Amino acid sequence: MVERRKHQRFQVALPLQVSCDAEAAVIQTFTHDVSEGGLAFIVDTPLPQGATVTCMMDLSSRRQAGQVSFRGTVVRVEQTADRHPVKVAVAADYYRFTV
């Protein structure tokens, strides 16, 4: 299998809030993995491939509060082994860090 990823991925579960231009609800979930180019997360209901999403990831620690927000595009939607929930991968267009 040929590796096509540009950036190394880190498997980490961080609190994540996702809003999708195609959906009315805000989704509360956790990251599955993150990289310089985007992230993946697990949800119960698939988001449309190609949809624009806004994500807010909580990076707070005991010593300091912090968040990263970004807009991106859903590039892949994968069924999990039990076909529910699904893994959604998002390519980030830009990031903004706040402390």
The pLDDT confidence band at residue 19, using thresholds 50, 70 and 90, is: very high
Is 66 part of any domain? yes
- Rounded to the nearest integer, the mean pLDDT of the chain is 88
Residue 9 counted as domain residue: no
Would you say residue 91 lies in a domain? yes
* Inside any domain, residue 74: yes
Considering Cα of 67, then 72, then 75, then 77, what sign does the dihedral take?
positive
Q: Does 3 have pLDDT greater than 80?
A: no
In angstroms, the CA 21 to CA 18 distance is 10
Q: pLDDT band at 4, cuts 50/70/90? A: low
**59/65 Cα distance (integer angstroms):** 7
* Total domains present in the chain: 1
Alpha carbon distance 71, 18 (integer Å): 10
Q: Which domain holds residue 92?
A: 15-98
pLDDT higher than threshold 60 for residue 2 = no
DSSP 48: P
| CA dist., res. 72 & res. 39, Å (int) | 10
- Would residue 8 count as lying in a domain? no
pLDDT, mean of residues 69-86: 87
Specify the pLDDT at position 6: 75
Tell me: the pLDDT tens digits for 55-76? 999 888 888 888 999 999 999 9
> Would you say residue 21 lies in a domain?
yes
- Are 42 and 73 within 8 A, CB to CB? no
The CATH number of whichever domain residue 57 belongs to comes to 2.30.110.10
